[in-house]
Amino acid sequence: MTDFIRQDSLNRITNGDLGCFKELTLAMFSGKWKINILYHLDHDGDYHFNELTRLLPRASHKMITQQLNELREDGLITKHTDKHHSITYTTYSLTPLGKSLIPILDMMYDWGKKRISDLKLDTASFPLSNKNL
């Protein structure tokens, strides 16, 4: 759904019938690996393409490219290329717009962290207790 939700939101903006502003924000980072990419670019600074592939070993080559392109289309990151002896290095950086999204990601981090610790303390009410615990 990831990309679908994003395209749908973006299309509906152009048509002027976006259901809720929240949907646009969700569309910005709901793609696979996007929150991780945004986090690393904010927390660690700029990254090259191959560095990102090493940071996200479970992400395929193709997906990283795709997610980076979408983040760039949405104005959240920029890309800069540099050539050294026919070898191209690409650097990705957060834009101010991308940085403005970080507080939301930070709140999501805090909520998730608290939720996990609560679940650890209270296994009886674990939402997946009916599955495989």
Partner DNA sequence: CCGTATCCACACCGATACTG
Partner DNA sequence: CAGTATCGGTGTGGATACGG
Q: Residue numbers of the site for DNA (CB under 7 A)?
A: 1-4, 7, 31-32, 48-51, 59-63, 65, 68-69, 79, 81, 87-90
Task: Give the total residue count for the chain.
Answer: 133
Beta carbons of 77 and 95 less than 8 angstroms apart: yes
Instruction: Name the nearest CA neighbour of 2 among 54, 71, 55, 50.
Output: 71
Q: Are strands 87-94 and 77-84 parallel, antiparallel or unpaired?
A: antiparallel
60 binds, among DNA, a second copy, none (CB under 5 to 8 A by kind): DNA
Applying CB under 8 A, does 29 fall inside the site for a second copy?
yes
Applying CB under 8 A, does 96 fall inside the site for a second copy?
no
Of 54, 121, 124, 127, which lies in the binding site for a second copy, with binding defined by CB under 8 A? Answer: 127
Neighbours of 84 (CB within 10 A): 7
- The label of the residue with tokens 């070993």 reads 57
Q: In sequence order, which ranges of 44-127 are alpha helices (DSSP H)?
A: 49-55, 61-73, 96-99, 102-121
* DSSP secondary structure code for residue 124 in this structure: G
Applying CB under 8 A, does 19 fall inside the site for a second copy?
yes
To the nearest whole angstrom, how small is the minimum distance from the Cβ of residue 79 to a second copy?
Answer: 14
Applying CB under 8 A, does 21 fall inside the site for a second copy?
yes
- In the complex, the residues that contact a second copy under the rule CB under 8 A are 1-2, 5, 10, 13-14, 18-26, 29-32, 35-36, 39, 58, 73-75, 97, 100-101, 103-105, 107-113, 115-116, 119, 125, 127-128, 131-133
